[in-house]
Chain A
Amino acid sequence: MVNYIIRRLVQAIPQLLIISVILFVLMQAFGDPLATLGARTPPRREDKERLRRQLGLDQPVYIQYLVWLVGNDWMKIDLDGDGVRETPGQRKGVLRGDWGTSLVTRTPVVDVIGERLPNTLLLMLPSEIIIIIVSLFVGMYSAIQQYSFFDNLVTGVSFVGYSMPIFLVALLFMYLFGVNFKRWGLPYLPTVGMFDPQAGRTPQQIVLHMILPLASLSVISIAAYSRYVRSSMLEVMSQDYIRTARAKGLREFLVVMRHALRNASLPFVTLVGLDLPFLLAGAVVTERIFAWPGMGRLFVDHTARSDYPVLMGILMLTAVAVIVFQILTDVTYSFLDPRIRIE
């Protein structure tokens, strides 16, 4: 087991290197970070030329990648534009822990990502837990009471929920519970942000502001996952060993929870395992609509400005998370299903 994990981790290193090269090259196809500088009018020509030189963007792609990877404090760069390289560089490179500076905010990439990560986890983890719990219960109940009123109702609502785009769900919730409930004099929920400035950044405020984004995030996934759980439960419930367990006189509750659910949850574990690394990436649309300062918005905003240091940071973080969670999922399989052995 331990050998297996170590082997996978060692394999991950060249994997990550190749991923970083591919991502870096693809990123050059994005726009030019100096095209607008976020301003309403394009920057002046002499400023762009100077910035290109000062930020190291005039170097060929492979040099830029090398600097990103190992830094440039071992070489000299030309800061004042006279063609002579006189100043030693300041960057240490990713391999030494320096992820570079954002081209947009000029702060270290680690700080930029670190400021947003807790907010994203705050939203994504509870939503994932809600999705898992609710999908399991809804799916299981639907499977056990197949074709009952509850099952048909849930099926119908699932199809509707799954077909709705996330922004529609989010905006509907916001307008209904934020704007209209307030206008109708009913207790209402806040529209945007993490807290109300008049009340301050208290945990109660954050929880209150979390309700609508959590609901929007969960609705669509629950609709989908409950269907998966339902169909795999149905498949398992018709197996022979379930009949055996019932024949032995076990309570129905134990039959379902101990025997059926454990086997039915294998495909579900795969899905959740694939989902978990993307929790770090944040929910792009939901965060944008609810003005939640998270990783999804960070990625979109910095892509629009072609801020490749931050984008590389986020993407490599996601790549590492995917690799780690894939290993975890494989290991979890071997615990859940004794037939699967890890050599």
Chain B
Amino acid sequence: MKKRLWLALSLFVIGALVLAACQPAATTEAPTPTQAQTSAAPQPTTPPKPTEAPPTSTPSKATVVVITFPQEPDNLNPLYTNMWFSTITHAFWLRGLWSIDDQGNAVPEIAAEIPTEANGGIADGGKTITIKLNPNAQWSDGTPITADDFVFTYQMTISPKNAVASAYPYKEQVESVEAKDEHTLVVKFKEPFAPWITTLFASTVATGALPPLPKHILEPVFEKDGTLDNAQWNHAPTVGVGPFVFKEWESGGHILLVRNDKWFGPAPKVDQIFIRIVPDDASQIAAIKAGDADIGTFLSFADAPAVESTGVAKAAFDLGGFQEGWFLNMDPKTAHPAMQDVRVRKAIALATDRFKITQDLLYGKTEPPATFWDSTSPFGDPSLKAYPYDPEQAKALLDEAGWKDTNGDGTRDKDGVELKLRYITTDRQLRKDVQAVVAQMWSKVGIGADLVNYSSDVFFNTFGSNGPLYTGESDIAEYSDGPAFPDPDVAYWLCSEIPSAENPEGTNGQHYCSNDLDALFAQQVTTADLEARKAIFAKIQKIMYDEVVYIGMWRDPDVWSINKRLTGVRFSGASPFWNVTDWTVSP
């Protein structure tokens, strides 16, 4: 009986091994072409056949660049995902009209040129954008890209039959998308829409930046299924437009992209991009140190010096608009009564030595910003400086506001209420360390701290799901956020975004409402002229700075690692892999 058990078990194991080794690695074709060998050095005794072309100088092995992602994309169809890790892959295989390079300039991709007022691309006060497409643009299967592909993409985004992740700005702000002719696209907005350059069918990480979908592949699917939600292309997009084309995606394991011969731009110098999903931070560092990862993504500050010390790779920082910051609750119903007083809020900023925190906990690799837009150049206001560290001034302000320590317990109080502030954040270790340091700093000026941590899926829950951010269960909430980078637009401080039972998805958790600010925000999104828009943001930032609505902790750049065998890599915050065609692997 035991023998039979062992036999059955071993057969099972062998069966599983055979199954796993034989299973097609993913949703499409068969083994990767890395096995493709050209013949080695020709045998000296066998004369080369005269009819054969002489062997080319391609290496016998394809060059593969390995990139590690800590999170797996949920969907490769841009319609169905908001994940940064999905959107950044589009630079490889699904380019849009233009990208934004590392200097912040728009670089045409499928568009023949960037629309400007001078070339007639922008008309009607910014309400009509006309884009001329590159007539050589073609999909990876050779089908030409025309304006109809963009019209189709627009229709799919706004169709109620598709449960898309975001229909912004195509549903509310865009009035129409039409193909004037095969290579001319005309987009009309209801109001002039300033963020058009970063979102309109663009290759950036902004929400709403939607590259075109191949109409000849997806329209039949939509007509047959009635929706694109379950299209095979969403997980196996074998037709795309970019220097590389999708080859395979093994769920949880890797995504493989290979050279696209039909790419009409400059040809890439590497043959394949292999994206491996490595969720654990320590494992990613081990892989980088062992040379198993050419590009590491989303490292933490602490890892940068560790990686550089091995000499195998170097760290690269680039601003993606994100900043770690404090969002102060000003709802009279839920916040501590002291939070209503701007002097107390100022005192909180002055009592926190954010400079020391960035020096000690972040290795001096970053610094505190002055406003929410410091990392979204050129909209940060250089005349505003980060709140200084001035505990004496903080104490003076608190005294002035009437908060004094009357009962000698070390914490100030007023009318019988202790000045103990609820300071919440997620459960990342770095944030817990910051909380501990901050509590110490506050105790020096007599502010008490109630430190709370949540797991991030609970932390970001909406008002409707009792999320602490939006139900006011905090006085100070810390997390990393930015505007609609690379555009400065943001909705967090609009009066209409205040969450409530009637408005459960509202994003204004701070309950900050100012008619002046509302008017300015409404104005900036329709102001296409850069200088005029910067001036509006200068006014917005001054109001928020004086009112101490947001306290910036540190600029949160994306931290990458680049193996020393890979050269030519320049990261752009808006389109990280924009210059992949320049990457070179030295053997």
Contact of B160 among A30, A48, A79 (CB under 8 A): A79
- A197 to B274, Cβ gap below 8 A? yes
Interface string of B34-74 (1 = CB under 8 A from A): 11000000000000000000000000010010101001101
Give Cα distance in the complex from A79 to B484, angstroms.
28
**A201 to B: closest C-beta gap in Å:** 5
**B374 to A: closest C-beta gap in Å:** 17
Interface string of B268-292 (1 = CB under 8 A from A): 0000101011111011101101111
Q: Which chain B residue shows the least CB distance to A82?
A: B160
Give Cα distance in the complex from A175 to B306, angstroms.
14
- A198 to B61, Cβ gap below 8 A? yes
- Check: A69 CB closer than 8 A to any chain B CB: no
Majority DSSP secondary structure for residues of B touching A: loop
Residue numbers in A under 8 Å from B160 (CB-CB): 54, 79-81
- Check: B522 CB closer than 8 A to any chain A CB: no
Q: Give the interface centre of A44, A80, A196 by most chain B CB atoms within 10 Å.
A: A44
- Check: B176 CB closer than 8 A to any chain A CB: no
**A208 to B: closest C-beta gap in Å:** 13
Give Cα distance in the complex from A50 to B23, angstroms.
38
Residue numbers in B under 8 Å from A122 (CB-CB): 16-17, 20
Residue numbers in A under 8 Å from B230 (CB-CB): 101, 106-108
Contact flag A129-B279 (CB < 8 Å), given A178-B286, A179-B290, A293-B253: no
Residue numbers in A under 8 Å from B506 (CB-CB): 45
- Check: A240 CB closer than 8 A to any chain B CB: no
- B465 to A32, Cβ gap below 8 A? yes
Residue numbers in A under 8 Å from B72 (CB-CB): 301
- Check: B384 CB closer than 8 A to any chain A CB: no
- Check: A161 CB closer than 8 A to any chain B CB: no
- B251 to A31, Cβ gap below 8 A? no
- B279 to A291, Cβ gap below 8 A? yes
Q: Which chain A residue shows the least CB distance to B70?
A: A291
Q: Give the interface centre of B85, B290, B503 by most chain A CB atoms within 10 Å.
A: B290
Residue numbers in B under 8 Å from A198 (CB-CB): 34, 61, 64
Residue numbers in B under 8 Å from A335 (CB-CB): 1
Give Cα distance in the complex from A319 to B547, angstroms.
55
Q: Give the interface centre of B12, B171, B457 by most chain A CB atoms within 10 Å.
A: B457
- A197 to B253, Cβ gap below 8 A? no
Interface string of A46-72 (1 = CB under 8 A from B): 111111001100000000000000000
- B20 to A37, Cβ gap below 8 A? no
- Check: A144 CB closer than 8 A to any chain B CB: no
Contact flag A174-B283 (CB < 8 Å), given A41-B207, A43-B82, A197-B32: yes
Q: Which residues of chain A (79-122) have a CB below 8 Å from chain B?
A: 79-81, 101, 104-108, 112, 115-116, 118-119, 121-122
Contact of A191 among B13, B17, B286 (CB under 8 A): B286
**A171 to B: closest C-beta gap in Å:** 6
Give Cα distance in the complex from A41 to B503, angstroms.
19
Residue numbers in A under 8 Å from B5 (CB-CB): 332
- B292 to A116, Cβ gap below 8 A? no
Q: Which chain A residue shows the least CB distance to B454?
A: A31
Give Cα distance in the complex from A307 to B349, angstroms.
39
**B453 to A: closest C-beta gap in Å:** 15
Contact of A197 among B81, B171, B256 (CB under 8 A): B256
Residue numbers in B under 8 Å from A191 (CB-CB): 283, 286-287, 290, 292
- B460 to A42, Cβ gap below 8 A? yes
Residue numbers in A under 8 Å from B364 (CB-CB): none
Q: Give the interface centre of A31, A40, A206 by most chain B CB atoms within 10 Å.
A: A40
- B290 to A182, Cβ gap below 8 A? yes
- B12 to A35, Cβ gap below 8 A? no
Interface string of B1-18 (1 = CB under 8 A from A): 110010001101100110
Kindly state the interface size class of chain A when it binds its partner. 35 or more
Residue numbers in A under 8 Å from B391 (CB-CB): none
Contact flag A106-B234 (CB < 8 Å), given A118-B19, A179-B286, A293-B253: yes
Give Cα distance in the complex from A336 to B164, angstroms.
57
Contact of A297 among B25, B279, B291 (CB under 8 A): B279
Contact of B278 among A47, A115, A175, A193 (CB under 8 A): A193
Residue numbers in B under 8 Å from A179 (CB-CB): 286, 289-290
- A174 to B34, Cβ gap below 8 A? no
- A201 to B234, Cβ gap below 8 A? no
Q: Which residues of chain B (446-468) have a CB below 8 Å from chain A?
A: 455-458, 460-462, 464-465, 467
Give Cα distance in the complex from A339 to B230, angstroms.
56
Q: Which chain B residue shows the least CB distance to A108?
A: B230
Give Cα distance in the complex from A289 to B286, angstroms.
10
Residue numbers in A under 8 Å from B481 (CB-CB): 41
Give Cα distance in the complex from A32 to B25, angstroms.
32
- Check: B385 CB closer than 8 A to any chain A CB: no
Q: Which chain A residue shows the least CB distance to B225?
A: A90
- Check: B322 CB closer than 8 A to any chain A CB: yes
Contact flag A47-B168 (CB < 8 Å), given A79-B161, A291-B278: yes
Contact of A194 among B19, B253, B503 (CB under 8 A): B253
Q: Which residues of chain B (157-208) have a CB below 8 Å from chain A?
A: 160-161, 163-168, 171-172, 207
- Check: B507 CB closer than 8 A to any chain A CB: yes
Residue numbers in A under 8 Å from B61 (CB-CB): 198
Q: Which chain B residue shows the least CB distance to A80?
A: B160
**B538 to A: closest C-beta gap in Å:** 23
Contact flag A118-B287 (CB < 8 Å), given A36-B456, A192-B278, A293-B251: no
Residue numbers in B under 8 Å from A171 (CB-CB): 282-283, 286
- Check: B346 CB closer than 8 A to any chain A CB: no
- Check: B84 CB closer than 8 A to any chain A CB: yes
**A41 to B: closest C-beta gap in Å:** 6
- A294 to B252, Cβ gap below 8 A? yes
- B482 to A48, Cβ gap below 8 A? no
- Check: A259 CB closer than 8 A to any chain B CB: no
- Check: A306 CB closer than 8 A to any chain B CB: yes
Contact of A203 among B17, B74, B497 (CB under 8 A): B17
Interface string of B205-237 (1 = CB under 8 A from A): 001000000000000000000000110001100
Contact flag A304-B290 (CB < 8 Å), given A32-B465, A119-B20, A197-B274: no
25 contacts between A and B (CB under 8 A): A31-B455, A35-B460, A39-B83, A41-B482, A42-B507, A43-B165, A44-B507, A46-B167, A46-B168, A47-B166, A47-B168, A50-B163, A55-B163, A106-B80, A106-B163, A106-B234, A118-B19, A118-B23, A125-B16, A188-B290, A190-B292, A196-B292, A201-B21, A288-B283, A294-B252
Known: A182-B290, A199-B34. 8 other contacts (CB 8 A): A36-B456, A43-B207, A55-B163, A188-B290, A191-B286, A200-B31, A200-B35, A291-B279
